[in-house]
Amino acid sequence: MTSILLVGSIGLDTLETPFGRAEDVLGGSASYFALAASLYAPVSMVAVVGDDFPDAHVNLLESHGIDLTGLQRVPGKTFRWSGRYRYDMNSRDTLDTQLNVFADFRPEIPEADRESEIVFLANIHPQLQLQVLEQVRQPRLVALDSMNLWIDIARDALDEVIARVDVVTMNDEEARQYADTYNLVAAAQSILARGPKTVIIKKGEHGCVVVGQSGVFAVPGYPLDDVQDPTGAGDAFAGGVIGYLASRNDYSWSTLRRALVHGSVVGSFTVQSFGVDRLATLTRPEIEDRYTLFRELTMIEPSDGTDA
């Protein structure tokens, strides 16, 4: 089992969906990723919070075995973000982003984590993602997530960091915007041409597709009848994918295909409650059960009428 070095945002989120509202709850790309990935492998988290950050959240992360040596606690207010989902739950409006202590964040990787084999650069300013890469020695796998904001305002830094990672994850809208093409496979190929070996495109409730040197593989969205809050599904998905790869210590195409299903399963649980609530109680047996349902869901019989 390999441990994962994670750098990303921790925030206090205010979330509105057609099914309810939650104020100042634990959020941020790193929180979702860490709670998901720690179901599979040890995670060390590097992030920043202010002096208003509730101890209960620190305790929750610690109770999942997440190593918080690299968590900086500085005077000031914690990063805050608020978003509202429309009725279809796929489109979201950001209502407010307050960087607060994030504005002066400089990631400092603890000495013990500089040798990490797996590095996940969750969604933060690409300049900060580059600063992390300057501090790690020889990771075997570096993966990155990003968002439309950085494509808009920090394109050069994003280009630079994408050229230096092995795996890129983006949602469909971001991949189209970044590659400037509507077709998702073409968008993935254009990102691959910049250096990464693998591109994973997340399509919300419609599943995901991975494009790599060995081909293309797609997983549908798990059909749920009770979606409450899609926030963090992409980060939790990435936590499931990278966590599973770390637990197998193998990054082959067949392991990656299984990892994609794990990511989809973890993402599907995440959206069934507000914020990190469902992730916080999720267990591996629950994941394995839904993985089995996923296999049944996607099994296609041969067209000649025989059983597979």
Binding residues for ligand AMP, rule: CB under 6 A, are 9, 11, 13, 27-29, 81, 97, 123-124, 149, 231-235
Shortest distance, position 145 Cβ to ligand AMP, whole Å: 8
> What kind and span of H or E run contains 97?
strand 92-98
Question: By C-beta, is 48 or 210 nearer to ligand AMP?
Answer: 48
Shortest distance, position 69 Cβ to ligand AMP, whole Å: 21
Measure the CA–CA gap between 23 and 27, rounded to whole angstroms.
11
* Residue 51: alpha-carbon gap to chain centroid: 26
- Asked if 95 and 82 count as a contact pair (C-beta separation under 8 A), the reply is yes
Measure the CA–CA gap between 279 and 55, rounded to whole angstroms.
19
Shortest distance, position 79 Cβ to ligand AMP, whole Å: 7
Question: By C-beta, is 153 or 216 nearer to ligand AMP?
Answer: 153
- Asked if 45 and 31 count as a contact pair (C-beta separation under 8 A), the reply is no
Question: By C-beta, is 13 or 205 nearer to ligand AMP?
Answer: 13
Question: By C-beta, is 103 or 112 nearer to ligand AMP?
Answer: 103
Question: By C-beta, is 29 or 273 nearer to ligand AMP?
Answer: 29
Shortest distance, position 82 Cβ to ligand AMP, whole Å: 9
Nearest to 240 by CA among 211, 214, 260, 219: 260
Measure the CA–CA gap between 80 and 247, rounded to whole angstroms.
32
**Where does the chain have alpha helices with state H?**
29-37, 55-63, 126-135, 148-153, 155-162, 172-179, 184-192, 233-248, 253-270, 277-281, 284-298
Question: By C-beta, is 139 or 232 nearer to ligand AMP?
Answer: 232
Shortest distance, position 48 Cβ to ligand AMP, whole Å: 11
Shortest distance, position 233 Cβ to ligand AMP, whole Å: 6
